[in-house]
């Protein structure tokens, strides 16, 4: 239960951060300005990841339709892809909770967490792009 509450407290602001509320991030001066910038960038990275994930889901669905009924076709591809993404999100959230905790109560907690979210979301979006382009799997 404590973990669920900590996750909500840490990540709830990201899910609700409006795109037009992105702060001026050229030269943030305070920890709160840095955190706001990282939070906005983390949200942008998550939006990009979700966009690429949507493209991949559509590609998987299309392949499923084309290969339905053929020998060796994996009818569970959409389910497997959804399970892989859910597992990755669990990893990301745990890793970024650790980044938050690693500040040991200091003012860098939010910057650690938002920086972690941005970095991992961008890395996942890049990985999904490569899968989509058949460069890795």
Q: What is the pTM of this model?
A: 0.74
- Check: CB of residue 126 under 8 Å from CB of residue 49: no
Q: Give tens-digit pLDDT for 44-79.
A: 999 999 999 999 999 988 888 887 766 555 566 888
* 76 domain residue, yes or no: yes
User: Per-residue pLDDT for 9 more than 60?
Assistant: no
Count how many domains the chain has: 1
* 17 domain residue, yes or no: yes
CA distance 120 to 62: 28
* Number of other residues whose CB lies within 10 A of the CB of residue 126: 13
120: CATH: 1.20.1270.180
| Structure token pair of residue 137 | 């799997």
Q: Give tens-digit pLDDT for 12-44.
A: 444 444 344 555 677 777 888 888 999 999 999
Residue 105, Ramachandran bin (φ over 0: left; ψ between -120 and 50: alpha; else beta):
left
């Amino acid at each position: 239960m404590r973990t669920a509450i900590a996750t909500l407290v840490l990540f709830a602001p990201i899910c609700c951060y409006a795109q037009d509320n992105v702060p001026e991030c050229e030269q943030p001066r305070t920890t709160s300005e840095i955190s706001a910038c990282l939070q906005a960038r983390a949200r942008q990275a998550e939006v990009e990841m979700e966009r690429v994930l949507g493209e991949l889901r559509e590609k998987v669905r299309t392949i499923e339709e084309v290969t339905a009924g053929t020998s060796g076709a994996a009818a569970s591809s959409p389910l497997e892809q959804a399970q892989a993404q859910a597992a990755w999100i669990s990893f990301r959230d745990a890793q970024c909770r650790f980044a938050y905790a690693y500040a040991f109560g200091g003012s860098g907690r939010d910057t650690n967490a938002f920086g972690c979210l941005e970095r991992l979301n961008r890395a996942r979006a890049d990985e999904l792009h490569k899968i989509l382009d058949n460069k890795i799997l």
